[in-house]
Amino acid sequence: MEKCELAIVGGGPAGLAAALKARELGLKEIYLLERDNFLGGQLVKQTHQFFGSHKQFAGIRGIDIAEIFKDKLEDQPEIQALKGAVAQGYYEDDVLGYSYRGKFFKLKPEKTILATGASEKMLSFPNNDLPGIYGAGAVQTLMNQYGIIPGEKILMIGAGNIGLIVAYQLLQAGIEVEAVIEATGIIGGYAVHASKIRRAGIPILTYHTIKEARGDEEVESAVIQKLNENWQPVPGTEQEMEIDTICLAVGLTPKVDLAIQAGCQMAYVAELGGDVPVRDENLQTSNSRVYIAGDSAGIEEATAAILEGELAAASAAGEIFPGNSAIAQERREIKEKLADLRRGPVGEHIRRGLARVRRNQNAGRDRYTRSWKN
- Nearest residue (CB) to other proteins, 8 versus 204: 204
H or E segment and range at residue 162: helix 161-172
Q: How far apart are CA 100 and CA 294, in angstroms?
A: 24
Q: Within the chain, what is the greatest distance between any pair of CA atoms?
A: 68
CA distances from 113 to 1, 11, 144, 278, 288 (A): 19, 11, 28, 14, 11
Q: How far apart are CA 276 and CA 367, in angstroms?
A: 11
Amino acid type, 36? D
Strand partners of residue 32: 8, 81
Q: Closest approach of Cβ 255 to other proteins, in Å?
A: 8
SS3 call for 20: helix
Which is nearest to 162 in space by CA: 122, 185, 135, 142? Answer: 135
Q: Closest approach of Cβ 206 to other proteins, in Å?
A: 5
- Nearest residue (CB) to other proteins, 12 versus 109: 12
- Nearest residue (CB) to other proteins, 72 versus 198: 198
Q: How far apart are CA 345 and CA 225, in angstroms?
A: 31
Per-residue exposure over 9-45, b if at least 16 CB sit within 10 Å of its own CB, e if not: bbbbbbbbbbbbbbbebebebbbbbbbeeebbbbbbb
Residue pair 215/241 in contact by the 8 Å Cβ criterion: no
Q: Closest approach of Cβ 210 to other proteins, in Å?
A: 15
Q: Closest approach of Cβ 114 to other proteins, in Å?
A: 16
Q: Closest approach of Cβ 44 to other proteins, in Å?
A: 11
- Nearest residue (CB) to other proteins, 146 versus 372: 146
- Nearest residue (CB) to other proteins, 2 versus 218: 218
Q: Closest approach of Cβ 285 to other proteins, in Å?
A: 22
Q: Closest approach of Cβ 276 to other proteins, in Å?
A: 17
- Nearest residue (CB) to other proteins, 124 versus 325: 124
- Nearest residue (CB) to other proteins, 39 versus 327: 39
